[in-house]
Structure 1
Amino acid sequence: MYLENLKSDFYEFITGKRICLIVHFDIDSICTCKILQSLLRYKQISYTLSVVQGVNDLKNVYRENAEQVKYYVLINCGGTIDLVDVLEPEEDVVIFVLDSHRPTDLCNIYSNGQIRLLWTAEDDLDVPEFQEIFCEDESDDEESSEDESEGRVAKRRRLGEEAIMKRRERRLWEAKREKIVFEYSQFTYYAKASALMMFDLAWKLNRDDKDLLWYTIIALTEQMIYEKIENTQYVLETGNLQAHATRLLNRTSDTDNTTSLKITFENDLKLVLYRHWSIEASLKYSTYTACKLRLWSLKGDKRLHELLADMGFPLVQSRQNYLSMDLQLRQEFPSAIAKLSEKYGLTDIEYTTFTMSYGYRNKYCAADVVYGMMTILECSPKTKKCEECFQTALDCLSRSHKNLLNAAIEKAKGITVSLFKTVQAALDMKRIISAGPFIYYIVQEGGLDWYLFTHQHILSLLAQFIIRAYVVMTRNRNASSLPLIISAPKDIEKGTCIVMGIPPLCENSPKNFFGKAFEQAAQRTNSDAVCDYFDTAYFDIPVKDRTRFLDALTALLS
């Protein structure tokens, strides 16, 4: 069921109770958790924090806490599965869910109060009516009793006409229900970031500040970078956050102006980490400019140097760290590239975003923080448990731990270079294959930095890069209408790989149909495919079944 008033039905309800906070392993969840923690501290609400990466983790965490805790808050996990069926909670257990994954499971929506959703019905699209999904009459019981008696007295009497009609109506209703449920659940997509909902609650409680606003901005920026939401939705939300930034401009908890936080709404460039890198490297390895200028080729490299020359930037300056460049060149850089954008086909290189600054030298764009946090979550040593990575990412949001963020940003540069080189190798060796209804690319074990792509979000960035590079380079006129399937090794010892799909470039909507397609392909091939992710566009399958799995998908989508 949906909660109408989060202040009274959620925040005041959990005051004085012990809760278990179960948080998904991603950036939006970390930002939401950080905001919620500040609200819980204010009311001195005791809580246990657990981190989950999939459905099995969620089950284990629930089992571990079931005896001590009766109230649970789930962040970005659980909304898309039938929680009562999966967790089998006692009747007095209450589970609050704040999840941006869609579609929401219908049993959660129509729960009698045990499952409480922290968003409104307007945030879910095309939800079927209760009577279309759940049968309210008692025909089930009648039929079952008839079925039981039928075995015993089949020789003595036949079913009456009324019973036959009831069964026929039941079958028709079930067929219609199956169709409605399929249409509702066939696409997976993302709704508003959970941090936005939590910040809205903090604002209504008059507990918001600039730090909480900055966490919300990072969560929204993460959705934009990973293309989880449409650009129009991003623009609308940034407009709302700009209003909050203006409102909070003169409110500060800092007494010293040199350390006070300033959040600025401004135009920025679609260049990865350029404030912490050299201009030449950022231009070369950013997905946007690499695809527009085809920088993986010698011709593209030459074009990049022409662009720098046209802007009046000497190579010596362009190869220096951005902060070490000549001050005048640094100030002119955004306007210089904007002037030449039409000539080089970079017309939409600018986008609106937020930057955060404090002190004299600390300035970060929201995208910089996203890349840094992604690196902490997905590129930490294997010896580090996911709970440790989560806690480090949580800490790096605090200004007192800027060294953690700076170290992560340095590491993120290496990931960006690896993404570029992987795409370059895929194009040179013609490994992006057209299978008819889709294109696919397989990351080979033992290839350049192949182990990076066992993680969801880095694999997602690679997929976005590859599909754009393919559309630019191929002679296939229908390339922009083809979706992409990408696969990478997952667990070498178990012989499994991760498979994910993204929609074609021609579709502006990030709605993804691969969740249902993967499910059907797995059934057709009888493979041991497992979807333990909350986003069903990702599947784990045995490497030995991958070829048959792709063949089944080709037949399914043709």
Structure 2
Amino acid sequence: MFIRRSNYADAYSRIKVASLSGSCTVLIFVALDVDALCACKMLSVSGLFTLMKQDFISHKIQPISGYQDLMDINQTVVLNNENLKFLILLNCGALIDLYQYLTPQDHISVYVIDSHRPWNLDNAFSNSNIFVFDDGDIEEKLYEERKAYDALVEMGDLELEKGSDDSSLVDEKENFSENENLEEELSKKKHKSSTDDEHKASESLEEEKDQEKLLDVCMYSTLLSSPHSTEYDSRKATQKKYYKYQKIISDYYDSGTWFGECISSQMYSLASDIGKEDNELLWFAVIGLTNQEMHRRMSYINRMNPLSTSDTENVKRTNGKTADDSSIRAKEEFRFMLFRHWRTKLKVWSEYGKKRLHKLFAKMGISLNQCHQVYTHMDMDLKKSLREKLDKFAPLYGLNNLVFPSFVRTFGFKCTLSASDASYGL
């Protein structure tokens, strides 16, 4: 079944209650990607602001690189572990039927927090110990799929039963057809008996037997005409619904793969619900979100409606105002870290490409001496005008979409770190 966003805090409360036993009740499976690592850091990794550390919840972290790791850990760690109460899967498990990889146990609840789509509907809608954290997609967009899934569950084993039922109806119709042939033969025999008087005595006995069979035919045809016919029509209508619901489920699974909301953002929602949000957790959520943006995993609508950075465009300071300043602000970032992408377009490995690059710098009014400087050591006036100059001249050289909305965080007087750089560093 699925857990609505408004019920995240209730799900976390169950973990807190189970941890009162003092034993290690939580096992966290972490996929090897930036979003999962950020969510894991927010939940559990040693630090002053992690949720489970504040609530004294004993837990164990297990990184996994594939489904085989999931099966191996199930055999070695999960099975016969009476102290274990919760399995938390971060960015893994949404696409598969988990009961094929994890042995069902009544005392263990499985929490699936995953941004991969489509959901395996058995995990989302079945009444089991598997709970998936819904980012809003299931409740708002999967109404038809849920209706179809519930209907198929109610129909049960119709797919297996319909074959035998249909064959029995076919046999009944064949028997009815045979009895109709028998009736025709009976009428022929009557005609023949009226013309042939020699065999009258012997045929009279046969006629009596045929009359009895004819009576059985009439009774059988009456029986078949109403109740069996109604049952057959009802079964055909049910079968039609069955195929309709199956098509809805198949279309959902065949629609491809995509990504939902990043799970680090969902973990920040959980922290907000229980009143434990802070800048540290927000920064991890920002890194996870930025990672999705850089890999084009956000929905098209979200990417076409980026957040406004008008409030921060006039910020001049590159470091903190105070030594303990840890503020986070929105800022547009350059895609210069995608070196292979823009180097391929400029062809800088060739002399012609180098000349084009130098020509671009010349048009932008940037000397080669400044180009060889570290960005932080460049003239401030050049850095301030870099965005405007790139917007004007870069498209002439095929360099489009060099800027995307992101965030930066200030670490006092030390430095200012962008979320994109932190994501690439992870």
Residue 131 of structure 2 aligns with which residue? 116
- How do 1:231-270 residues align onto structure 2 when only pairs under 5 Å count? 231-234=300-303, 238=307, 257-270=322-335
Query: CA contact under 8 A between 1:128 and 1:180: conserved in structure 2?
Result: yes
Give the Cα separation in 2 of the matches to 1:84 and 1:308: 59
Return the match for 1:101 from 79, 96, 116: 116
Residues 1:40 and 2:52 are matched in the alignment: yes
The one-letter amino acid of 1:317's match is: Q
Give the Cα separation in 1 of the matches to 2:156 and 2:283: 53
Residue 387 of structure 2 aligns with which residue? 334
Give the Cα separation in 2 of the matches to 1:364 and 1:52: 29
Query: CA 1:199–1:234 in structure 2 vs 1: closer, same or farther (change >3 Å)?
Result: farther
Residue 15 of structure 1 aligns with which residue? 16
Give the Cα separation in 1 of the matches to 2:366 and 2:372: 10
Residue 59 of structure 1 aligns with which residue? 71
Q: TM-score, normalised by structure 1?
A: 0.55
Query: CA contact under 8 A between 1:23 and 1:76: conserved in structure 2?
Result: yes
Give the Cα separation in 2 of the matches to 1:230 and 1:40: 31
Which deviations, in whole Å up to 9, do the C-alpha atoms of 1:57-98 show, x marking residues without a partner?
122223322322121111111112112343231233211111
Query: CA 1:370–1:303 in structure 2 vs 1: closer, same or farther (change >3 Å)?
Result: same
User: Partner of 1:340: helix, strand, or coil?
Assistant: helix
Residue 459 of structure 1 aligns with which residue? none
Residue 99 of structure 2 aligns with which residue? 84
Query: CA contact under 8 A between 2:345 and 2:398: conserved in structure 1?
Result: yes
Query: CA 1:345–1:222 in structure 2 vs 1: closer, same or farther (change >3 Å)?
Result: same
Residue 136 of structure 1 aligns with which residue? 154
Return the match for 1:181 from 249, 264, 268: 249
How far residue 137 of structure 1 moved from its aligned partner, in angstroms, is: 4.0
Query: CA 1:81–1:217 in structure 2 vs 1: closer, same or farther (change >3 Å)?
Result: same
Query: CA 1:146–1:170 in structure 2 vs 1: closer, same or farther (change >3 Å)?
Result: same
The one-letter amino acid of 1:143's match is: E
How far residue 41 of structure 1 moved from its aligned partner, in angstroms, is: 1.2
- How do 1:385-464 residues align onto structure 2 when only pairs under 5 Å count? none
Query: CA contact under 8 A between 1:268 and 1:334: conserved in structure 2?
Result: no
Give the Cα separation in 2 of the matches to 1:369 and 1:54: 25
- How do 1:276-355 residues align onto structure 2 when only pairs under 5 Å count? 285=339, 287=341, 289-290=342-343, 293=346, 295=348, 298-341=351-394, 343-344=396-397, 346=399, 348-355=401-408
Query: CA contact under 8 A between 2:148 and 2:246: conserved in structure 1?
Result: no
Give the Cα separation in 2 of the matches to 1:333 and 1:141: 65
Query: CA contact under 8 A between 1:16 and 1:45: conserved in structure 2?
Result: no
Residue 227 of structure 1 aligns with which residue? 296
Residues 1:205 and 2:258 are matched in the alignment: no
Give the Cα separation in 1 of the matches to 2:143 and 2:160: 29
Residue 197 of structure 2 aligns with which residue? none
Give the Cα separation in 2 of the matches to 1:350 and 1:168: 59
Return the match for 1:71 from 75, 86, 101: 86
The one-letter amino acid of 1:47's match is: H
How far residue 349 of structure 1 moved from its aligned partner, in angstroms, is: 2.6
User: Partner of 2:27: helix, strand, or coil?
Assistant: strand
Q: Which runs of 5+ in 2 are unaligned?
A: 19-24, 45-49, 177-223, 313-319
Query: CA contact under 8 A between 1:128 and 1:184: conserved in structure 2?
Result: no
Which deviations, in whole Å up to 9, do the C-alpha atoms of 1:212-263 show, x marking residues without a partner?
1111111111111111123541465756x999x9xxxxxxxx9x93243232
How far residue 142 of structure 1 moved from its aligned partner, in angstroms, is: 9.1
The one-letter amino acid of 1:334's match is: R
Larger Rg: 2
Query: CA contact under 8 A between 2:323 and 2:413: conserved in structure 1?
Result: yes
Q: TM-score, normalised by structure 2?
A: 0.70
Give the Cα separation in 1 of the matches to 2:364 and 2:251: 52
Query: CA contact under 8 A between 1:126 and 1:184: conserved in structure 2?
Result: no
Give the Cα separation in 2 of the matches to 1:139 and 1:105: 20
User: Partner of 2:95: helix, strand, or coil?
Assistant: coil
- How do 1:482-497 residues align onto structure 2 when only pairs under 5 Å count? none
Query: CA 1:224–1:139 in structure 2 vs 1: closer, same or farther (change >3 Å)?
Result: closer
Q: Which runs of 5+ in 1 are unaligned?
A: 246-253, 273-281, 374-558
Residue 25 of structure 1 aligns with which residue? 32
Residue 216 of structure 2 aligns with which residue? none
The one-letter amino acid of 2:271's match is: A
- How do 1:465-476 residues align onto structure 2 when only pairs under 5 Å count? none
The one-letter amino acid of 1:11's match is: Y
How far residue 193 of structure 1 moved from its aligned partner, in angstroms, is: 0.5
Query: CA contact under 8 A between 2:333 and 2:404: conserved in structure 1?
Result: yes
Query: CA 1:7–1:180 in structure 2 vs 1: closer, same or farther (change >3 Å)?
Result: closer
User: Partner of 1:355: helix, strand, or coil?
Assistant: strand
Which deviations, in whole Å up to 9, do the C-alpha atoms of 1:89-139 show, x marking residues without a partner?
123321111110111111112121511121255357445344523241466
Give the Cα separation in 1 of the matches to 2:274 and 2:241: 46
